[in-house]
Amino acid sequence: MKWISCSSYEDLSRRAADMLLHTIREDPHAVVGLPTGRTPVGMYERVVHECSREYHCFRDVHTFNLDEYIGISRGHPGSYFSYMKKHLFDHVDISPDNAHIPDGTAADLGLECARYEDAIRRAGGLQVTFLGLGRNGHIGFNEPGTPFASRTRVVDLHESTRLANADLFGGGQVPTRAITMGIATILESRAIVLLAGGSGKEDAIKRLQSRIIDESFPASVLWRHDNVTVLAAV
């Protein structure tokens, strides 16, 4: 694990954006895993800014988001579909067919999870996946206790996770379930970049640094991967 201590949130965002831009400049057909949450907002801002000066930045890039809520429409302001449109997709030339997000409104959610895994495989697998870090160590929506062998599936959200994300629902009800890529799905990405920043993350970052690998702290599994970069700023 390559650990980079960032001097500020801006520094973290700049480094993360540079890594994403490097990936898609090196390989304009790159397949990239993308996160949501507050932490990556600065990364997306910078990527959008840089891409506004480049021709066909995202034209042939494929993206796969880590997760999506169940029980709200895609147009709901709290959905990750809306988040991605607002922070990235509406501002770059990505083809809607290449911008994948699990469909939390699918009639058959089990089928949707299998379809998502299949779409990642058919695209050639994830090259680089960017992750945020939940305060309880979750990655995607893989909450503590998730088996490391898990694949894309429907999960119940912890109360603490719903609370942490409540402000993104403007006081409304945070959904109780989501679809998330599994831990094994994430680990198959050839490279992983963990964005570990923001208030309330100090304990999670310390626990990750302890190197103790345990299912009670999902992010700890990243020690088992041979190409992980952590960008840490608290």
Residues classed as catalytic: 67, 136, 138, 143
What residue is closest to ligand GLP based on CB? 132
Under a CB-based contact definition with an 8 Å cutoff, are residues 147 and 183 in contact?
yes
Q: Specify whether the backbone of 135 is left (phi greater than 0), alpha (psi in -120 to 50) or beta.
A: alpha
Question: Which amino acid is it at 38?
Answer: R
Contact code string over 181-220 relative to ligand GLP, x by CB under 6 A: -----------------x----------------------
Q: How far is the CB of 133 from ligand GLP (least distance, A)?
A: 6
**Residues 56 and 25: beta-carbon distance below 8 Å:** no
CA 30, CA 46: separation in Å to the nearest integer?
19
Q: Does 137 bind ligand GLP (CB under 6 A)?
A: no
Query: Bridge-partner residues for 154, per DSSP?
Result: 179
Ranges within 71-130 binding ligand GLP (CB under 6 A) = none
Segment lying near ligand GLP (by CB under 6 A), choices 20-28, 35-43, 104-112, 212-220: 35-43
Q: How far is the CB of 141 from ligand GLP (least distance, A)?
A: 5
Applying CB under 6 A, the site for ligand GLP has a residue count of 15
Comparing CB distances to ligand GLP, the nearer of 68 and 188 is 68
Helices (H), the chain: 9-26, 41-51, 80-87, 109-122, 159-164, 183-187, 202-209
- Pick one of 141, 146, 185, 196: the residue that binds ligand GLP (CB under 6 A): 141
Nearest to 130 by CA among 42, 204, 49, 205: 42
Please, what is the minimum distance in Å from the beta carbon of residue 28 to ligand GLP?
A: 26
The residue (of 48 and 133) whose beta carbon lies closer to ligand GLP is 133
Q: Residue 216: helix, strand or coil by DSSP?
A: coil
Q: Considering only residues 67, 112, 143, 188, which one is a binding residue for ligand GLP as defined by CB under 6 A?
A: 67
Check if the beta carbon of residue 61 is closer than 8 Å to that of residue 98: yes
Which of these segments, 33-41, 45-53, 102-110, 118-126, binds ligand GLP (CB under 6 A)?
33-41
23, 79, 152, 161: which one binds ligand GLP (CB under 6 A): 161
CB of 218 to ligand GLP, least distance (A): 11
Nearest to 223 by CA among 198, 196, 192, 179: 192
Residue where the block lists tokens 């490391």: 148
Residue ranges binding ligand GLP (CB under 6 A): 35-39, 66-67, 132-134, 140-141, 161, 165, 198
